[in-house]
Amino acid sequence: MMHMNRRSALQLLSGAASFSIAARAGRLWAQPRKLKPDAASVLIVVDVQNCFIAGGTLAVPRGEDVVPVINRVAPAFQNVVLTQDWHPAGHASFASSYPGRKPFETIKLAYGEQVLWPDHCVQGTSDAALDKDLNIPQAELIVRKGFRRQIDSYSAFQEADRKTPTGLGGYLRERRMRRVFVTGLATDFCVAWTALDARRAGFDTYVIEDACRGIDLNGSLAAAWKKMAERGVRRIQSTDIELG
């Protein structure tokens, strides 16, 4: 049997300990596994409409850039829901409904503070149509929101009075969905409100950042991300999703 002096034994133990620590560190910093959408996952595509992309009545900067990203991730999902802003003419959120008021000013309505917008997404117009390049044939539901004249609606789950549901929450629960992935326009308004309401309803909620674009009205984009993080909404990229 080979005998070992004290120094050799300590060197051997030290080397083994270093190897163990390195191995644990390697596991800790290993590339995280990608998220694989399953039968209980749903992709929500928020308001990818002509009014919110280049040339529209309320164009989000680079809004059209979300379309190829959404088209790339959508085939990974068995379940897809689309939303449409669907306002009647003279809607309460339109600056034109208030003499002397201008777009992007705010007023107080019965349900609280309301940003006034240019007339947009008026029912039945080409401005309200979904972007023609959006290619998601498996989408199974379109939720139209904001069609009540006196109430605006950012969230796909609940209108701005915070009392009137769209029915989407019940639909997803009935279908036994557990995970919600949100994309679309605009990050700091309809996307954020949708994600926050999904989280409030108990769904594991992810916002795919590169599949969204924001307006950033007076710091609204940073504020939206901060609020979503505080409420447990997870911020991911399209590359975090397993597409194969």
Q: What positions carry a catalytic annotation?
A: 47, 145, 190
Token pair, residue 147, equals 């069609």
Q: For the purposes of burial, counting CB atoms within 10 Å of the CB of 222, is it exposed (0-12), middle (13-18) or buried (19 or more)?
A: exposed
- How many CB atoms within 10 Å of residue 189? 24
Token pair, residue 62, equals 């680079």
Between CA 120 and CA 113 the distance in angstroms is 19
Asked whether 65 and 134 are in contact (CB, 8 A), the reply is no
Q: What is the DSSP string of 31-81?
A: PPPPB---TTEEEEEE--BGGGSTTSTTPPTTGGGHHHHHHHHGGG-SEEE
